[in-house]
Amino acid sequence: MSYASLTGKTAIVTGGSRGIGRQICAKLSEYGVNIVINYAGNDKEAELTKDLCLMKNPHVALVKADVTKIKYCERIFEICEKNFGPPDILINNAGITRDNLIMRMTPEDFDAVLGVNLRGAFNCVKLAFRPMSKKRSGRIINIASVVGIAGNAGQANYAASKAGLIGLTKSAAKEFAKRGITVNAIAPGYIETDMTSGLSDELKAEMLKTIPLGRVGRSEDVAAAVAFLCSDEAAYITGQVLCVDGGMYM
């Protein structure tokens, strides 16, 4: 698939140093998008993502910033503006897990997950509105999860954050539409990443049984969906949740 409309556009990708975020950066670079890679702490992994993008597009910038603090999010947008101009695309991908049963989950772990997964996205959505509004165009894509739709034992904080992200997506879509900005969410299912690699073999086997397509998803599957929603081909799609889950949730 070729998305000529993406060439020369500029995207901010939060949580872009590895996993799904890395593949999103690589995929958009492949289509000629200038990439601002945000990451929280792993310099080595961020540099690897940057190198991967540079193989396809020379226009890449790294920004180490904690998205839970709006002052640091402002720095992401400032560096974007300085290097490439205002963003055309925002991908809210930054996310963490602190899994536990509700009875054992600490308030700190609940707040930490909500802070990165939901507050971080809110901060960036808020900051993206003004520059996109001036252009009368923009694409915002929030990486949610099927867990935010169906729930999951041991992940009350994660599920709540992703369900909240879906609510944020739909509300922002209604507020931003008159400015030509689309806002959508992608809800991945069981995707093979660092975040899922720690699951037991037994749990992985049980999860695989729930996937009609019979295979685990890849980060590339999510990145392909992101590229579509960023393109002009998706110009009439907003406020939607696209499940990339092999049919796990229907």
Written as one string, the DSSP assignment of 189-250 is -SB-SHHHHTS-HHHHHHHHHT-TT-S-B-HHHHHHHHHHHHSGGGTT--S-EEEESTTS--
Give every strand in the sheet of 89-92, ordered side by side. Answer: 60-64, 34-39, 10-13, 89-92, 138-143, 181-188, 241-244
Calculate the alpha carbon distances from 192 to 51, 57, 152, 165, 243 in Å: 22, 26, 18, 22, 16
What amino acid positions are annotated as catalytic residues?
158
Q: How many helical (H) and strand (E) elements, i.e. helices and strands, does the chain have?
A: 10, 7
Instruction: Find where tokens 């670079």 sit.
Output: 29
Tokens (6 digits) for 103? 């009875």
